[in-house]
Amino acid sequence: MTRWMRLFMLVVILVSFSSVSLAEELTLQYFLAKAFSKEGDLSKTEKTELLNRIEEVMGQARQTHQQLIQVMLSGDVTLPFQEGQFWMSKFKEDEASIETGFQQLKLMKDKPSLLTPPVLLYKSVRDLASNFNAYNNMSSFSSFVGDVGPELELWADPVFIRLFLLPLLNSKDKEAEVKFPPKEKKPNPKK
């Protein structure tokens, strides 16, 4: 009896390690390769992991955003008043994009068949990527931003668009064709 119990424990441990290694393998490189391969369809676990990875990157963006605000408010970065106001307005836009992104991720996890949340998430991530790339071009901010902007851009454009949004749009097109088949046009009789 103890031998079977040990065997069972070993199987449980091996299965848990294999699930952990699966999560570690699904990186940006994995999803990029998947996006550019011919078999671009994701399984349900891969879709969940894709959303988890985007959520992690959004979390990194939130941390970077908070660091940028802290640097601006502490006075570590010296900017003219008008330029400082401009960047603070951009930071407020980023805050709205981050919150929208997290809300849409939550909706996508709860109701994956909806079309609006992925589109809004894509827009949020693209806006963040654009702003973070602009911050990266400022010498005062580039040390804080690092690779967050380009990484957000990669997650948004080739990965999210090709692996999540386009397949969802295609499935919606197929559903619409099934519900509303194209009407046959009758030729007009000639007089």
Percent of the chain with pLDDT over 70: 77
Assess whether pLDDT exceeds 80 at residue 16: no
Query: DSSP for the chain?
Result: -HHHHHHHHHHHHHHHHHHHHHHHH-SHHHHHHHHHSS--PPPHHHHHHHHHHHHHHHHHHHHHHHHHHHHHHHT-S---HHHHHHHHHHHHHHHHHHHHHHHHHHHHHH-TT-SHHHHHHHHHHHHHHHHHHHHHTSHHHHHHHTTHHHHHHHIIIIIIIIIIIHHHHHHHHHHHHHHSPPPPPPPPPP-
Of residues 174 and 65, more confidence is placed in 65
What is the overall mean pLDDT for the chain? 82
User: Where does the pLDDT of residue 166 fall: very low under 50, low under 70, confident under 90, or very high at 90 and above?
Assistant: confident
Instruction: Give the global pTM.
Output: 0.75
Interval 58-114: pLDDT, tens: 999 999 999 998 988 888 777 777 888 888 899 999 999 999 999 999 999 998 888
For each of the domains in the chain, give its residue range(s) and CATH number, in order of start.
44-171 (1.20.140)
Of residues 118 and 173, more confidence is placed in 118
Q: Measure the CA–CA gap between 75 and 116, rounded to whole angstroms.
A: 40
Mean pLDDT of 37-53: 86
Q: What is the pLDDT of residue 40?
A: 66
Q: How many CB atoms lie within 10 A of CB 157?
A: 15
User: Where does the pLDDT of residue 14 fall: very low under 50, low under 70, confident under 90, or very high at 90 and above?
Assistant: low
